[in-house]
Every structure is written in structure tokens, then in C-alpha cells.
Homo-oligomer: A and B are copies of this chain.
Amino acid sequence: MLQRWLPILDWAPHYNREQLGGDLLAAVIVTLMLIPQSLAYAMLAGLPAQAGLYASMAPLVAYAVFGSSRTLAVGPTAVTSLLTAAAISQVAAEGTLAYWQAALVLALMSGLILVILGALRLGFLINFMSHPVISGFITASALLIIASQVKHLLGISASGATLPALLHDLASNLGHTNAFTVVIGFGALFFLLWTRRRLKPRLLAIGLSPRLADAIGKAAPVMAVIVTTVAVWVFDLGARGVAIVGVVPGGLPDFTLPPLDAALWQHLLVPALLISVVGFVESVSVGQTLAAKRRQRVDPNQELVALGGSNMAAAFSGGMPITGGFSRSVVNFDAGAQTPAAGVYTAVGIALATLLFTPALHYLPQATLAATIIVAVSSLIDLQTLRRTWHYSRFDFSVVLITLLATLGAGVEAGLIAGVATSIALYLFRSSRPHVAIIGQVPGTEHFRNVLRHEVNTSEHVLGVRIDESLYFANARFLEDCINEAVAKQPKLAHVVLNCTAINAIDASALESLETIAERLQEAGIRLHLSEVKGPVMDRLNSTHFLQQLTGEVFLTHYQAVQTLAPESLG
């Protein structure tokens, strides 16, 4: 029982030297990767640089205790930072204490929501996020993030929660562009893109081992940070208008208590819910993909608890909302992490860096961080899915497109909500108009088929109707309409036989519709029969008065029904 809630008990007692080696190496590499990323995502969220560093310490320790994935690496990510910025900029002004406190409240609420969902085993709720919604949302988020970072590359100011607003702001401030910033920003951007796309093949060509080539490629962001920081320091570019990170307080985070302000909590409820769900979806899919490679398992409900605990740890240690990140988890996995202890070592690494190197971060230009972000999120843009879903299903395509456009045009919250609502509405729409067939006997057999597709025998006294879907509220009235219509066309009708082969369930609405159909038919002098009703459906019908009030019979097979009611029509 305790083991279920504390997966650390699974691995810690058997922790061995070999695992320690793998975990330590992975921790060093992930730490190097996380330092610039943490600073960058804090900037993306509009928070002070240290918020990103703090969010990469305590949450990693919490995840090591509660997490069911062996290799997931948590911390601030691009999408959660974007959602954070969108939410808290509505309740406080960037740069104020209230702004950071709102981020802490958001992390705490999101943590509580995740823990509650996990404790109640409600992990299935994330199923409401269909793949088309996630795909459209992630692409739109990446585009929004890139648009929001362009200002740092140009050294101008711009704000806005939607793409049109951002582009408009950028365009109107273009005149204030700072040349030094542009050189640093685009320099770093092209350097990072070049190392990502071209460096590794060249290193391999000159004879380096693939592993070393890979490690050098991974170190590129750190190199960009060092080079541009030194450049700013040497040439005193801060005085020439290049925006820099500035003072980052050294030392470990203090204990922070997010303010218990009811109005603020109410404002942040929906954003906290969205961050929870989006973060969880991102995290659990990475976790499952990595676990599958080593035939391990990730328990979605335990992951809710673990991510919730990690977010609460972030809230109480001056951090910001976090989740399991894709790239850092893959790096952690590839570098040989064996257990969540690697996360603890990474946290120690970040803590050491915070203690020792924060003075060095003073001259780090924001443009470099912006370039890091842009390169990181550019891989999230996935326009392929639009093409693929267009070919596969127009319904799914329209969900991707609506989510994408709504997110870009009306912001992240509106986009997600529009996407989820559209996918649910379209699903209900589809299942509300199931395939219904009037059936007749295939001559010489006991089979009954659609009269529109086959040459079959029918009777003007007996109408056979087959519905290819479970009956529930969204299609119950549809069946009424179908039968009304069919009956109005056949003046000599005396019997309707509903073939129930494809009906797996009947809900209360559908039951009432069946009663209504039976009653209306009775008043028109027509009897309603059922055929081939499945066992569980029959059990449920037996618990009601429907079968007693049914004017007709329940036949085991449709053939028996027609044999009894209109033997002359069989051939």
C-alpha cells in the first residue's frame, strides 16, 4: 500500500553502485542543459531568473520520491511557462512581487488539482484532450512563444496574449531595435541552429566518436551562454542597450508561502486546471515512451500524484509551475539514468550552480536566452499533422485547425477550451447519427441485410430495422425519427422488428425513446418487437417494465421473428 504511493520504496532499497554511476553521469549532463533552460523559461514566464533555477531543485527531489517513471526529468517547460505567463499577467504586473506570488499560487493550485485527481484515480479525465487538440495547441503555443521572444532578439518591447496582438506590437516598436542585441540574438540563434543541424555530421566526419559528437552538440547552448556573456562583459554592451539578466541572488531558495487570497485563487482556477492537464499529458506521454523502451511501467494515476507533489514543492520553494519535459527526459535517458536518484543529483548540481555561479550570470544577455527558447520550441511546430488529419478525417482536421487558430487568435486558454469543446461536439455529432438500415431477408438464407445494398425479401406488414450503435441520449431521438418516417411510408404496416445485434448498451433516454416508439406504434395499431438482444442489454431491460408493456415479442433471431409474423414473405 505504502509502496503504491511511494514508488521510491521500489528502487531505493536495492540501489547499487552501477545505478549510481549511470545516474551521476546523467545528472551532470542534464544539469548543464538545465541551467540555461531554467533561466530561459523563467524569462518566458516573465519571472526573475532565479525562479527557474529554484523550480529545478525541490520539484526534482519530490518527483524522485513520488514518481513512477525511472527517467522522467521535471522542471519548467516551454508550454507551462507560456501558460503561466498568460494566466498571471492577467492578475498582476510583470516585475512585481505580486506577479511572482501569483506564479506560486498557480503552482500550488495546479499541484493540489493533480494530487486530487490522482488520489481519486481520475487520470482518465485527460482523455478529454484528444490528439488533434494537443497537436493544434502545441504548434500554436510554439508559434506564440517564438513570436513572444522575437522582441528579445531585437531589443525592443512587445506584449500580447495572441499572435495578432504580438505581431502588431512588434511592428510598431520596430524602430527602437538595438543593433548590438540583434547581433548577439541572431548570432546565438544561428549558432544554435547550426550546431543542431550541421555540427554533429561534421564532427563525425573528422573522426570523433558519435557519443562525443553528441555531447558536444548538447553543450552548444552552454557555449552560447558563455561566449555571449563574456562578450557583453568585455565590451560593456549592457551600457549600450543590450538587456541582461542582471543580479541573480546566490544561495538556496527560502521557504515561500503562496498567498491565500480567495479572489486570486478563483481567478487562477481555470488556468491552473489547464496547466495541470496540459502538463500531465506532456509528462505522461514522455514517461510512457521512455518506460516502454526498457519494458517498465508508468502508472498514470501515480504520475498525477508525483507531478502534483513536485508542483507543490515548487510553490513552497520560490519556483514556478513545472512538468515533465520532453527534451530533458530524453537526454537523461540517453545519458544512462537508471533511477529517479538522477533527478536528486541534478537538483544538487543546480543548487551548486546557484551557490557558485550566479554572479557570472549577471552579464548573460536576454537575447541569448530568447535564442535558446526559439530553437527549443521550433521542434514542437508540427504542420504535418494538419496534412495527415486532412487526409484521414475531416472531423479530426477541423479540430486541429480550430484549436490552432483559436489559440493563436484568442490565446492559450480560449484555444484549449475551443479545441476540447469542438472534439467532444463532433464526436457526439458522429455518434448521434448512427448507421440505420431497413433490413430484409437474403433469399434462401436466414440472413437479413440492408434493403438498399442487397436484393432482399421484405413484407409490407413487417418492417425490420437495424441500428449499428449503442442507444444513448444523443441518438435516441434519431431512432424515433427514423421509425416515424419509415412507418409513415408504409400504410399497411402491422409490425416493427428492431434488430439489436449492434446495441451494446441502452441508457435511460434511449429506453424512454423505445417506450415512446412502442406507444406511438401502438396508437397507430402497430406492434413493436425486438430481435437478437444481447445478454447484458436484456438483463437491464428485464429490470424495467418495458418488456411487460411491449406489445410485441422478443425473438432470439430475426429470422424467427419474420417466420412468426410474415412467413409468406420469406423466400
Residues of A at the B interface (CB closer than 8 Å) are 124, 126-132, 285, 288-289, 291-293, 295-298, 300, 388-389, 391-393, 395-396, 423-424, 427-430, 432-433, 468-469, 472-478, 480-481, 484-485, 487-488, 491, 504-505, 507-509, 511-513, 516, 519-521, 523-524, 540, 543-544
* Chain B min CB distance to A549 (Å): 13
Known: A130-B473, A131-B513, A427-B507. 17 other contacts (CB 8 A): A127-B474, A130-B476, A130-B508, A131-B473, A131-B509, A132-B473, A288-B480, A288-B484, A288-B520, A289-B520, A292-B487, A293-B523, A297-B488, A300-B481, A388-B508, A391-B543, A392-B540
Are B392 and A130 in contact, CB atoms less than 8 angstroms apart? Answer: no
Are B295 and A524 in contact, CB atoms less than 8 angstroms apart? Answer: yes
* Chain B min CB distance to A513 (Å): 8
6 interchain pairs (CB within 8 A)? A128-B473, A130-B473, A292-B523, A295-B487, A298-B484, A396-B507
Are B124 and A429 in contact, CB atoms less than 8 angstroms apart? Answer: yes
The A interface is mostly helix, strand or loop, or mixed, namely helix
Give complex CA distance A519, B433 in Å.
34
With beta carbons under 8 angstroms apart, the residue of B128, B396, B505 that contacts A508 is B396
Q: Which of A289, A473, A521 has the most CB of B within 10 A?
A: A473
In the complex, residue of chain B having the shortest beta-carbon distance to the beta carbon of A298: B484
Are B487 and A127 in contact, CB atoms less than 8 angstroms apart? Answer: no
Q: Given A473-B131, A476-B127, A520-B289: A392 and B508 within 8 A (CB)? A: yes
Are A473 and B423 in contact, CB atoms less than 8 angstroms apart? Answer: yes
With beta carbons under 8 angstroms apart, the residue of B126, B297, B427, B508 that contacts A485 is B297
Are B432 and A124 in contact, CB atoms less than 8 angstroms apart? Answer: yes
With beta carbons under 8 angstroms apart, the residue of B128, B487, B523 that contacts A474 is B128
Are B127 and A477 in contact, CB atoms less than 8 angstroms apart? Answer: yes
Are A488 and B433 in contact, CB atoms less than 8 angstroms apart? Answer: no
In the complex, residue of chain B having the shortest beta-carbon distance to the beta carbon of A490: B295
With beta carbons under 8 angstroms apart, the residue of B296, B388, B481, B488 that contacts A488 is B296
* Chain B min CB distance to A271 (Å): 20
Give complex CA distance A327, B544 in Å.
28
* Chain B min CB distance to A78 (Å): 21
Are B392 and A543 in contact, CB atoms less than 8 angstroms apart? Answer: yes
Are A507 and B126 in contact, CB atoms less than 8 angstroms apart? Answer: no
* Chain B min CB distance to A305 (Å): 16
Give complex CA distance A285, B484 in Å.
12
In the complex, what residues of B have CB within 8 A of residue A481's CB? 300
Are A478 and B292 in contact, CB atoms less than 8 angstroms apart? Answer: no
Give complex CA distance A561, B405 in Å.
45
Give complex CA distance A535, B476 in Å.
26
Question: Which 10 pairs, one residue from A and one from B, show the smallest C-beta to C-beta distance?
Answer: A130-B473, A292-B520, A396-B508, A131-B509, A130-B509, A297-B488, A127-B474, A131-B512, A293-B523, A295-B524
Give complex CA distance A391, B392 in Å.
42
In the complex, what residues of B have CB within 8 A of residue A297's CB? 484-485, 488
* Chain B min CB distance to A33 (Å): 23
Are B393 and A508 in contact, CB atoms less than 8 angstroms apart? Answer: yes
* Chain B min CB distance to A474 (Å): 4
Are B477 and A508 in contact, CB atoms less than 8 angstroms apart? Answer: no
Q: Given A424-B428, A473-B127, A473-B423: A132 and B508 within 8 A (CB)? A: yes
In the complex, what residues of B have CB within 8 A of residue A521's CB? 292
Give complex CA distance A491, B129 in Å.
32
Give complex CA distance A292, B475 in Å.
19
* Chain B min CB distance to A138 (Å): 13
In the complex, what residues of B have CB within 8 A of residue A484's CB? 288, 291-292, 297-298
In the complex, what residues of B have CB within 8 A of residue A475's CB? 127
Give complex CA distance A480, B287 in Å.
13
In the complex, residue of chain B having the shortest beta-carbon distance to the beta carbon of A399: B508
In the complex, residue of chain B having the shortest beta-carbon distance to the beta carbon of A489: B297
* Chain B min CB distance to A38 (Å): 29
Are B509 and A132 in contact, CB atoms less than 8 angstroms apart? Answer: yes
In the complex, what residues of B have CB within 8 A of residue A132's CB? 473, 508-509
In the complex, what residues of B have CB within 8 A of residue A508's CB? 130-132, 388-389, 392-393, 396
With beta carbons under 8 angstroms apart, the residue of B393, B428, B485, B511 that contacts A507 is B393
Are A427 and B393 in contact, CB atoms less than 8 angstroms apart? Answer: no
Are A427 and B473 in contact, CB atoms less than 8 angstroms apart? Answer: yes
In the complex, residue of chain B having the shortest beta-carbon distance to the beta carbon of A541: B392
* Chain B min CB distance to A129 (Å): 8
Q: Which of A396, A433, A491 has the most CB of B within 10 A?
A: A396
Q: Which of A285, A297, A298 has the most CB of B within 10 A?
A: A297
Are A544 and B295 in contact, CB atoms less than 8 angstroms apart? Answer: no
In the complex, residue of chain B having the shortest beta-carbon distance to the beta carbon of A526: B295
In the complex, residue of chain B having the shortest beta-carbon distance to the beta carbon of A427: B472
In the complex, what residues of B have CB within 8 A of residue A298's CB? 484
Give complex CA distance A474, B391 in Å.
21
Give complex CA distance A508, B131 in Å.
7
Give complex CA distance A131, B292 in Å.
44
Are B509 and A396 in contact, CB atoms less than 8 angstroms apart? Answer: yes
* Chain B min CB distance to A139 (Å): 15
Give complex CA distance A488, B299 in Å.
12
In the complex, what residues of B have CB within 8 A of residue A427's CB? 428, 472-474, 507
Give complex CA distance A300, B130 in Å.
32
Give complex CA distance A267, B209 in Å.
68
